[in-house]
Chain A
Amino acid sequence: MTDLNHQLTEAFPPPATRAEKEHWVFTKPQTFTRSAITQTADLDYSNAETWEHTLQPATWHQGQHALTLESNEQRTLVEFIIGDAPEALLTDTLDISLQQGSTLRHIRLHAGTQHQQRRIVNVTADENATYQQFTLTVGGTLSRTETLVDLIGEKAHAEVVSLNLLQGEEKADTLNHTHFKAPSCTADIRQRNVVADAAHAVFQGKFHVDQIAQQTDAYMLCQNILLGEKACASHKPELEIYADDVKCSHGATTGTLDEAHLFYLQARGIPKAQAKQMLIAAQVHDLIDNLPDAITARALALTEKWLKGVSHA
């Protein structure tokens, strides 16, 4: 952890020193406003706001985005961040404000190699509002993704699902912080890391429950599948609870592919190497099959190359 934090500080020095370098590109700060997003009552992807960004080598992409949903609005935001861009750096912040009864489905597909990224999402959810995030990260030398959610109104709900596919010496660090500031709020945090070679996945999750936030119901789960002898996963769940009538729990699993699953496939005549590949792919499909069809297709295309090349010796 200390090692990784150190590397993060190295990777993300203050902008002033970085700006002196040539070739830095600043992405235009974007404000996703009400008028900028198509109404999507049924959370249908075909009408969703989409933001596509291709990383260029040796550039710094920086952005600051904001999005507000009015009462009872339902929206989908889809982000594609793509690029095999050596020495590229992406740092951006997204501030999301969800007013009463609104729902945001937020999907972020991030794929590429040899670049570094740091993303911070700040969410404020009022009464009965729902924030659903799905983040897919495929590769990247060093990634840091922070999702900080404040549930400020009764019965607000947060769902954050992250899938990281890592190989080589890639590192991905995910931080989820959910702050319960009103009664009867719920949260479901799920992280899955598939880690090959000598890659390293880090997960930190925290539930902070204020005294007023009675009847909080929250769960976090971190599943790590290690495919290499030197593959590594670190996870740290934290609970800080000041209310006395709450349900907060966490779970974590770390292991290799399931031997019983492997035997079942082999007993049907599927050779071991192919069976392993099917089981690794299953870890991915299990999560992305639930996305809207058009997104699933895009996500599958992004993961296919990784799955074909991954080492599972």
Chain B
Amino acid sequence: MLKIENLQAKVAEDAGDKTILNGINLTVQAGEVHAIMGPNGAGKSTLAHVLSGKPGYEATNGTATLDGQNLLDMEEPDERAHSGLFLAFQYPVELPGVNAAQFLRTALNAHRTARGEEELNGADFLRLARAKMADLKMDDAFLKRAVNSGFSGGEKKRFEILQMALLEPKLAVLDETDSGLDIDALKIVANGVNAMRQDDRGFIVITHYQRLLDYIQPDYVHILANGKIVKSGGAELAKQLEAEGYDKVMAA
């Protein structure tokens, strides 16, 4: 499904370009959940940004192919989204004046148009959105609010998962989705992700802490340090990290 080969990337900064990724190799098969853990500054979020095409992040070498299409060849972030990639943001931006229902429907219809399908009308969209919101224990009133505007940390993350549920991506990258969540919100978000696990969908779960992985069981765990994957293993690797810390596990 997703195959990342020798991915190198730099970030444009005021002080000049800074290389963050130093040759990442990672293959995610359909149906798998891969967790990427690592200390601060390891390049975890940069990986998410480079894949999704955030301005200022530039891949300097390597490929990242999703079902045979190289994401890095695509000019605009919306093309990458249409090819089946979804990024759940660590810090979703607030968009005062952009109505949530209109935003969700526009995004969904942009995907449908790209697939050559007919657009959903207002009534059908609302029916679909309400059903997905009920799964995430979200009030209908969300639809009338402005996107993320004045949302609590937990509401923002649930809104991200709602977008994922509506857009039904092939591959979802969750960037520190657990940050800023209390335990109840964490469970709701994790349940939302688990409900979407299926044979033809892959996940990359980026997290700093093992806690999220108690609720979203990964098939593989990778440790990222200095822009490279330095160790890979099964779910037990995350537990070992929690018990022993990054320094000890990476030295072993």
Contacts and interface: CB of A to CB of B under 8 A. Distances in A.
Contacts of B167: 268-269
B87 interface: yes
B192 to A, nearest CB: 17
A286 interface: yes
B78 A269 contact: yes
Contacts of B52: 267
Interface stretch (A28-36, A109-117, A134-142, A272-280): A272-280
Contact of B97 (A263, A274, A282): A282
A172 B92 CA distance: 35
Given A269-B111, A270-B106, A270-B107, A261 B93 contact: yes
A269 B111 CA distance: 6
B97 A283 contact: yes
Contacts, number: 78
On chain A, which size bracket covers the interface?
Answer: 20 to 34
B110 interface: yes
A125 interface: no
On chain B, which size bracket covers the interface?
Answer: 20 to 34
A272 B95 contact: no
Most chain-A Cβ atoms within 10 A of its Cβ — which of B77, B82, B107? B77
Nearest to B110: A269
Contact of B87 (A259, A267, A275): A267
A266 B81 CA distance: 8
A286 B78 contact: no
A107 interface: no
B103 interface: yes
B231 to A, nearest CB: 30
Interface of B: 52-55, 76-78, 80-82, 87, 89, 92-93, 95-99, 102-103, 106-107, 110-111, 114, 146, 163, 167
Interface of A: 258-261, 263-272, 274-275, 278-279, 281-287, 289
